[in-house]
Amino acid sequence: MKSSTRLLSIVASIGLLATVSLSAQTQLVSDSLFPAALEFKELKAIKTERDLKDHVELGKLPYAPALLEVGLKRLVERTYTVDGGGQIEISIMTLSDAQGAYSAFTCLGPPGVHRGPPGSFYSDNKETLAFVVGNYCVRVHSTTTGDLARLVATSVANRIGNHESNLPGLIRHIPADSCDSGSVRYLLGPTAMSTFGTAVGGSSLKLPPDVEVAQVNCTAQGQSGILTMLSFPTIQLAEDYFESGSLSKKQSSGMASLYMRQTGPLVSILEGNFTPETADKTLSSIQFSYSIKWIYEKRNQQTGTIWGVPVKLLGTVVRSILFTALLCLTSMILGVLIAAGRLIARKRGYRSQDTLIRLKLDEN
């Protein structure tokens, strides 16, 4: 009996040691957005890799001032050698928000924007495929042929997951009939405008730091040019910029003409060989209107303010008022019912019997 117990103890100890050994060798699945080790047999080995998070390191990148202006927070890159020759480089940029990611995408990606997949929007040519999803901007540069770059990009997009990536509001105001939305460049700030944008009126625009800019190629009735749209935080700022006449003194190069129009907080500048009639038709199609929506959100997910009061606090106050009103209404109904009952009882001759309590004391 003792020998069998000892044997079981030894077996249990061996099993425990094996479990500890296996657990020590087991690794958690990495949160890396790059393809898994054996996901693509064409990717032979990792040639180079870097992960930049520090502001100083990011400041050494090409176009660093413009990228930092749009909110670049992190850059991870990895280069693979490919079976049969060539290489693939994957660059994943994390930005502060979706607007910054879309701006970096339109500035660094190949021309021509299409609806995804991969990602929410993508652009590609023979060597580079870029896409944007959420606050991520990804570029896949390949020196190989075939669909490997697209398959790798799809893998990275799937690892990032689904994120809501709507077009910035300014992009949605671009005239769809006369302008090529695939050629748009979305620029957040003066540095991005001077780095990636096209000069307007022969020189760079002087803009405050909180202005959004979109530039797009337009063609109408055989006439072509570039539409530059500026979105200001307020209508007053847009009016001040429009009335300042800062562009009226600029001389456009060649035979190009310059037309301006202000619509709400938007200032649109159309430059090219357009006639006044065609320019007016194009600029008049840019409309802006405010809309108010009442949105009911689930509890613990309400944000924002209404009339300057936080939505959560306002909801609590409204519920308290409704509860108090319901309590008052219930009290009134009960009071009416009690009064009616007493009245009915009196009419039927019911009276409460008086009860006399006498205290008898025994003096004995």
Q: Which domains does the chain have, with CATH numbers?
A: 43-160 (3.40.1000.70), 171-284 (no CATH)
**78-87, 284-293, 331-340: least confident range:** 284-293
Structure-token match 């409309």, residue found: 287
| Cβ count within 10 A of residue 17 | 10
**Residue 177's pLDDT is what?**
83
The predicted structure's pLDDT at residue 311? 62
Sign of CA dihedral 314, 315, 317, 322: positive
Q: Cα angle at 63 between 61 and 64, to 5 degrees? A: 55
C-alpha separations of 257 from 144, 253, 278, 279, 355 in Å: 44, 9, 12, 10, 108
User: Measured between alpha carbons, how far is 2 from 7 in angstroms, rounded to an integer?
Assistant: 9
Q: Where residue 14 falls among pLDDT bands split at 50, 70, 90? A: very low
pLDDT of residue 23: 40
pTM tops 0.85, yes or no: no
Q: Average pLDDT for residues 90-97, to the nearest whole number?
A: 92
Rounded distance between C-alpha atoms, residue 312 and residue 350, angstroms: 54
- Which range of 76-80, 276-280, 306-310, 339-343 scores highest in mean pLDDT? It is 76-80
What pLDDT sits at residue 164? 67
Q: What rounded mean pLDDT belongs to the chain?
A: 79
| DSSP 8-state class, residue 203 | B
Question: Higher confidence at residue 359 or residue 152?
Answer: 152
Tell me the per-residue pLDDT of 191-223, one tens digit each, with 9 for 90 and over: 888 889 888 877 778 888 788 999 999 988 888
Q: Which tens digits make up the pLDDT trace of 111-164?
A: 888 887 888 899 988 889 999 998 999 999 988 877 888 999 999 999 988 776
How confident is the model over 70-88, as pLDDT tens digits? Answer: 899 999 999 998 888 889 9
Mean pLDDT computed over 216-236: 89
- What does the alpha-carbon distance between residue 54 and residue 73 come to, in Å, rounded to a whole number? 8
Cβ atoms of residues 116 and 161 within 8 Å? no
| pLDDT reported for residue 68 | 92
Terminal C-alpha separation, the chain: 90
* Strand 185-188 relative to strand 223-231, pairing: unpaired
